[in-house]
Amino acid sequence: MEIDLGKVPFTMDFHPSDNLVTAGLISGDLHLYRFNADSVRQRLLEIHAHSESCRAARFINDGQAIITGSSDRSILATDLETGSPIARLENAHEDAIFSLINLTESTIATGDDQGCIKVWDTRQRSCCNSFNAHEDYVSDMTFASDSMKLLSTSGDGTLSVCNLRSNKIQSQSEFSEEELLSVVIMKNGRKVICGSQNGTLLLYSWGFFKDCSDRFTGLSPNSIDALLKLDEDRVITGSENGLISLLGILPNRIIQPLAEHSEYPIEHLAFSHDRKFLGSISHDQVLKMWDLDDLLQNTVNAQNDQAAVSDSDSDEMDVDTKPPKSRKGAKRKNESANGAASMSKGKRKHLLVIIRNHTIQEIQHVFLPYGPGNVSSLQCSTLAISGLQPCALSELENEELTSFRE
When mean pLDDT is compared over 211-220, 244-253, 373-382, the highest value belongs to 244-253
Burial letters 346-370, b for 16+ CB under 10 A, else e = bbbbbbbbbbbbebeebbebbbeeb
A 10 A CB-CB count for 307 gives 11
Amino acid 113: pLDDT: 97
CA distance 306 to 302: 11
SS3 content of the chain, % helix, strand, coil (to 5): 10, 45, 45
Which residues, listed in sequence order, are joined to residue 88 by a DSSP beta bridge?
A: 76
- Identify the helix (H) or strand (E) that includes residue 354: helix 345-357
164: nearest Cα among 152, 179, 176: 152
Amino acid 38: pLDDT: 78
* Residue percentage of the chain with pLDDT more than 90: 67
Q: What's the mean pLDDT in 188-206?
A: 96
pLDDT above 50 for 213? yes
Q: What's the mean pLDDT in 362-387?
A: 39
Averaged pLDDT score across all residues of the chain: 80
Over residues 21-76, the pLDDT tens digits come to 999 999 999 999 999 887 767 999 999 999 999 999 999 999 999 999 999 999 99
pLDDT above 80 for 395? no
> What letter represents residue 359's amino acid?
T
Structural domains of the chain in order of their starting residue, each with its CATH number = 2-307 (2.130.10.10), 345-405 (no CATH)
Amino acid 220: pLDDT: 79
Amino acid 389: pLDDT: 42
DSSP for residue 261: -
